[in-house]
């Protein structure tokens, strides 16, 4: 068996067919391998019972590309947060979010995150590297296997900034769609905004939901909350978002984490409405989920309602999204790679 670091997960059916032929097997086994990898989620070639016993034995140690569950925490609402050990020993976090009608996976795109957002636990830790498309897809297969239920939706809102890993994220989207069988419109890519990358993503013409973490309607406050914003002025960011809509024909979702007394005042709602006037967009208001490192407070119910009402009166499409998994530190902004939770 050849020594290689390349994994089978991440390959298309044509690539798997080429690989299987190189190992002296008939081409039709490429489709079988594809089915067992992406539909049955095998972790070893020894599990593929339709393959010859001698072949399975010869390739029993060939790297499939699956991670191992280091730890799993289950919240009262049944949300599960996983610490996954990668082949190089690094740890990432993945969250499985079940409801009566769907199973959503919040996937990480990097090990850690270099963006250093002030209210986010991931940004308080170290950044190590980008994830490969196979490592992203593996997270979905792991959750699917653990829940014993098909995953219906995937959001790129875990550890990392997806647009700093655009190539692998786009590849993962296509694998999840074409190989795992999840519709692109059930996939969401979230970003705080990376110069030039929004338009790069737009030209891929994906049918995914595109979400931008805004969190402030003026440059000064946004830089306080998101340090990287100083390299991407708010007017330029919004201009690129408008171009994204023009290129793709799909609206942009804006994520806005409500921090009590910081960005949840009525005048700030008016300011946000002015920024988004005439924009094909939707605003998700997200009450802040606390982390240990900073003392931001979650907005109270009255402030949230006033903020939402002002946006509605200004004809801005808006909804409030309460995060799942809060008690397990699995909610939005709470992910960090620790050996235990």
Q: Which residues pair with 187 in a beta bridge?
A: 154
DSSP secondary structure, 169-190, as one string: HHHHHHHIIIII---GGGEEEE
Burial of 4 per CB tally in 10 Å (0-12, 13-18, 19+): exposed
DSSP secondary structure, 245-309, as one string: HHHH---EEEEEEEBTTTT-SHHHHHHHHHHHTT-SEEEEEEE----TT----BPPHHHHHHHHH
Q: Which of 93, 161, 168, 255 is catalytic?
A: 93
Are the C-beta atoms of 311 and 273 separated by less than 8 Å?
Answer: yes
302 is annotated as an active-site residue: no
Helix-helix angle 13-22:29-38, to 10 degrees: 120
168 is annotated as an active-site residue: no
Q: What is the C-alpha separation between 212 and 43, in angstroms, rounded? A: 35
Distances (CA, A) of 224 to 41, 112, 221: 43, 20, 5
Hey, which residues are catalytic here?
A: 93, 332
């Amino acid at each position: 068996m050849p020594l290689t670091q390349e994994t089978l997960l991440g390959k298309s059916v044509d690539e798997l067919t080429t690989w299987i032929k190189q190992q002296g097997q008939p081409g039709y086994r490429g489709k079988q391998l594809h089915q067992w990898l992406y539909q049955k989620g095998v972790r070893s070639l020894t599990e593929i019972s339709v393959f010859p016993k001698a072949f399975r034995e010869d390739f029993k140690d060939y790297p499939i590309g699956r991670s191992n569950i280091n730890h799993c925490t289950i919240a009262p609402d049944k949300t599960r947060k996983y610490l996954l050990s990668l082949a190089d020993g690094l740890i990432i976090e993945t969250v499985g979010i079940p409801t009566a009608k769907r199973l959503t996976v919040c996937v990480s795109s990097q090990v850690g995150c270099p963006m250093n957002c002030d209210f986010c636990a991931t940004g308080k830790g170290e950044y190590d590297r980008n994830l490969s498309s196979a490592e992203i897809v593996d997270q979905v297969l792991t959750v699917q296997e653990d829940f014993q239920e098909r995953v219906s939706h995937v959001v790129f809102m875990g550890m990392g900034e997806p647009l700093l890993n655009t190539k692998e994220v786009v590849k993962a989207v296509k694998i999840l769609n074409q190989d795992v069988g999840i519709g692109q419109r059930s996939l969401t890519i979230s970003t705080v905004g990376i110069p030039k990358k929004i338009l790069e993503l737009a030209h891929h013409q994906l049918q995914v939901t595109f979400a931008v973490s805004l969190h402030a309607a003026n440059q000064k406050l946004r830089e306080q909350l998101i340090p990287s914003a100083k390299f991407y002025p708010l007017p330029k960011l919004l201009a690129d978002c408008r171009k994204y809509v023009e290129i793709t024909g799909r609206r942009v979702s804006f994520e806005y984490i409500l921090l009590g007394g910081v960005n949840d005042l009525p005048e700030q709602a008016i300011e946000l409405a002015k920024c988004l006037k005439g924009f094909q967009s939707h605003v998700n208001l997200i009450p802040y989920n606390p982390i240990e490192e900073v003392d931001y407070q979650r907005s109270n119910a009255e402030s949230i309602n006033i903020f939402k009402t002002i946006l509605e009166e200004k004809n801005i499409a808006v909804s409030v999204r309460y995060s799942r998994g809060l008690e397990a530190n699995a909610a939005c902004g709470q992910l960090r790679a620790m050996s235990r939770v």
